């Protein structure tokens, strides 16, 4: 077990190095003069030179890489052009709303998608199954921002149940916090529910064909026990895998949802940084999101042993 954990941790390192290398090379291998592009069309040569200096583009490539990697290892992600602050500080300020949004989205998704998937599998071919499958195709196709505006229009503008936009920290009280978070989380969870419900259904259907399910039914267990204790438990590994892979989808969705609902999180920071030509911040956000994505998937890999005692390393 310890050997397995160590081996998985070690296998993650090359991926993280590769990601960092990509993010580093993205700027350096841009056709043309990256400093001029970042400075914009109206920049003077002095401004361009200043940007080149601040990004360290005047040194030879290996030197640049060494300096950049050295800073990265110390948690120094550079300094924002636009916000005139350390990027690390900037990111820490913006983490809370994104974390809140992602967590509520995840809770809604799991509460809705797993029961739906299990029921659809149980009644395979029935109306519920067809509805879930139809919803899952539709959920993949309606863009997050279209759905977001649709929900805002119906529930905030017409019905006035929720505020249109904005974010309140949890320190302002639980209700104001949740009240503003419900619509964005619902918006973001739709595509994720579509994905997870579909996988849950497929994976439970697979398990329902097994002999031990027939045995469990034959010895008189209730449908509920069979579905939850026997089928779902054994279908858990593929579901959890997709939850992990889907984090990439969630991160993309966060960027859009935060823009639609005006939530000052990391997603909004990304868009603001692009519009403000704030390259160090863009670079840092991509790096942080990718690292989080890789690490969540590492944790999920490690959790397989808990979910399925047959998996031993």
Partner 1 sequence: MTSPDLVDSAAQAAASAERPGLLRQLSRNPSVVFGTVVLLVMVVLGLLAPALDTLDPAGIDPAWRNKRPGTEHTITLPSGQELEYVHRMGTDSLGRDLYSRVLYGARISLVVGLAVAVISIAVGLVIGLLAGYVRWLDGVAMRVMDGLMAIPGILLAIGLVSLWGAGLATVIIAIAVPEIPRVVRLVRSIVLSIREEPYVEAAISVGTPLVPILYRHVLPNTIAPLLVQGTYVCASAILVEAILSFLGVGIPPETPTWGNIMAEGRVLFQVFPHNILFPGVFLALTILAVNLLGDGLRDTLDPRMAKRF
* Site residues (vs partner 1, CB under 8 A): 14-19, 21-23, 26-27, 30-31, 34, 37-38, 137-138, 140-146, 149-150, 152-153, 157, 164, 198-199, 202, 248-249, 251-252, 255-256, 259-260, 270-271, 274-275, 277, 279, 282-283, 285-286, 289-290, 293-294
| Nearer Cβ to partner 1 (112/248) | 248
The whole-angstrom separation of Cα 126 and Cα 132 is 10
| Nearer Cβ to partner 1 (68/279) | 279
Of 28, 27, 45, 26, the C-alpha closest to 36 is 45
Nearest approach, Cβ of residue 20 and partner 1 (Å)? 9
| Nearer Cβ to partner 1 (19/221) | 19
Structure tokens at 170: 């949890």
Structure tokens at 213: 């399910």
The whole-angstrom separation of Cα 110 and Cα 174 is 21
Nearest approach, Cβ of residue 206 and partner 1 (Å)? 9
Write 65-74 long-range contacts (CB < 8 A, 24+). 65/24, 68/24, 69/20, 69/24, 72/20, 72/287
Nearest approach, Cβ of residue 173 and partner 1 (Å)? 26
Nearest approach, Cβ of residue 9 and partner 1 (Å)? 15
Number of neighbouring beta carbons within 10 Å of residue 171: 8
The whole-angstrom separation of Cα 313 and Cα 5 is 9
Nearest approach, Cβ of residue 194 and partner 1 (Å)? 11
Maximum Cα interatomic distance, the chain, rounded to a whole number of Å: 82
Structure tokens at 9: 């941790």
Structure tokens at 132: 């879930």
| Nearer Cβ to partner 1 (141/225) | 141
| Nearer Cβ to partner 1 (216/259) | 259
Are the C-beta atoms of 264 and 270 separated by less than 8 Å? no
| Nearer Cβ to partner 1 (178/249) | 249
Nearest approach, Cβ of residue 116 and partner 1 (Å)? 15
């Amino acid at each position: 077990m310890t050997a397995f954990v160590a081996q998985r941790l070690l296998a993650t390192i090359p991926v993280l190095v590769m990601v960092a290398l990509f993010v580093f090379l993205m700027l350096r291998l841009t056709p043309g003069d990256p400093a001029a592009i970042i400075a914009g069309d109206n920049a003077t040569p002095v401004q361009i030179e200043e940007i080149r200096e601040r990004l360290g583009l005047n040194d030879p490539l290996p030197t640049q890489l060494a300096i950049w990697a050295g800073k990265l290892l110390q948690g120094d992600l550079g300094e924002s052009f636009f916000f005139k602050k350390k990027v690390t500080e900037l990111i820490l300020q913006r983490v809370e709303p994104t974390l809140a949004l992602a967590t509520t989205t995840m809770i809604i998704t799991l509460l809705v998608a797993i029961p739906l998937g299990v029921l659809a599998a149980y009644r395979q071919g029935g109306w519920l199954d067809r509805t879930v499958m139809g919803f899952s195709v539709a959920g993949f196709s309606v863009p997050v921002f279209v759905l977001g505006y649709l929900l805002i229009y119906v529930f905030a503008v017409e019905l006035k149940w929720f505020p249109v936009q904005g974010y309140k920290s949890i320190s302002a009280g639980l209700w104001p916090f949740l009240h503003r978070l419900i619509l964005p989380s619902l918006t973001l969870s739709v595509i994720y529910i579509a994905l997870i419900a579909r996988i849950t259904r497929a994976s439970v259907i697979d398990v329902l064909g097994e002999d031990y399910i027939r045995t469990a039914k034959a010895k008189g267990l209730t449908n509920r026990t069979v579905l939850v204790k026997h089928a779902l438990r054994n279908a858990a590994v593929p579901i959890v895998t997709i939850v992990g892979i889907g984090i990439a989808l969630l991160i993309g969705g966060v960027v859009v949802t935060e823009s639609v609902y005006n939530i000052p999180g990391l997603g909004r920071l990304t868009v603001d940084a692009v519009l403000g030509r704030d390259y160090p911040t863009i670079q840092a956000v991509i790096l942080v999101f990718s690292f989080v994505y890789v690490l969540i998937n590492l944790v999920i890999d490690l959790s397989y042993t808990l979910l399925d005692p047959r998996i031993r390393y």
